[in-house]
Amino acid sequence: DAGITQSPRHKVTETGTPVTLRCHQTENHRYMYWYRQDPGHGLRLIHYSYGVKDTDKGEVSDGYSVSRSKTEDFLLTLESATSSQTSVYFCAISDFGSGGPYEQYFGPGTRLTVT
Amino acid sequence: SQQGEEDPQALSIQEGENATMNCSYKTSINNLQWYRQNSGRGLVHLILIRSNEREKHSGRLRVTLDTSKKSSSLLITASRAADTASYFCATSGEQFYFGTGTSLTVIP
């Protein structure tokens, strides 16, 4: 695997509590992404970052916020977790060339259960 | 949604047979990529085809792209049990848009 780690790998939390997931890369790639994967929906983009302190929303950003204070770290925060946010969360990294984005490398995923 | 859509949703074949899965998408693209996901794991990149390319090969993989029809296909030749996985296409501009995947089962 490319140098991407996610923490925690598993988490169970209660409705209404804040949760922060961390993605760490050692590849110095410019772009970092957070996805959620749910049955029947494939991967859906939550937020992405195109540089330190530069982030933008994806398809399903409501209820989530992100921060990137260093190239290597991208944090995803659920301010007040809901049961609909139970999912598997994947972080990915990518770089860009003149012809567009290169391939994405994915982390191992975080399984989050909100009870 | 700008998601791609894979077809079929599920495919079951015997080892040694070829597997073909298709992807349709809605918007103009810089490139299209195919990924594999084994159960419980993250996605792994297989192959990238640029919008000005029509066909690309990588080992037992063959990808075609028809931008006029906004479609792509992935062919896996001489399939093996280890090819059992879900396969996703992804279209990319600055964001990536993934389809819902094709679940491939290769029976030994």
Task: Give pLDDT tens digits for A13-64.
Answer: 999 999 999 999 999 999 999 999 998 788 999 999 999 999 999 989 999 9
- Please count the residues of chain B: 108
Per-chain mean pLDDT for chain A: 93
Q: Is A99's pLDDT higher than 70?
A: no
List the domain range (segments joined by +) for residue B45.
Answer: 5-107
CATH superfamily of A4-98+105-114: Immunoglobulins (2.60.40.10)
pLDDT band at B92 (very low <50, low <70, confident <90, very high): confident
pLDDT band at A2 (very low <50, low <70, confident <90, very high): low
- CA of B58, closest CA in chain A: separation in Å? 15
Between residues A43 and A2, the one the model is more confident about? A43
**pLDDT, tens only, B56-66:** 999 999 999 99
List the CATH number of the domain containing B17: 2.60.40.10
> How many separate domains does chain B show?
1
Of the candidates B3, B42, B44, the beta carbon closest to that of A42 is on B3
Q: Is B45 in contact with A104 (Cβ distance < 8 A)?
A: yes
Residues of A in contact with B1 (CB under 8 A): 59
- E strands of chain A, at which residues? 4-7, 10-13, 19-25, 31-38, 42-51, 54-57, 64-70, 73-78, 87-94, 96-97, 100-101, 105-106, 110-114
For residue B50, the chain A residue with the least C-alpha distance is A99
In this predicted structure, what is the pLDDT of residue B60?
A: 97
Q: Is B100 in contact with A41 (Cβ distance < 8 A)?
A: yes
Q: Is B99 in contact with A104 (Cβ distance < 8 A)?
A: no
Q: Find out whether the peptide bond into A8 is cis, omega within 30 degrees of 0.
A: yes
- Using DSSP's 3-state secondary structure scheme, residue A101 falls into strand
β partners of residue B20:
B75
- CA of B70, closest CA in chain A: separation in Å? 18
Q: Is B2's pLDDT higher than 60?
A: no
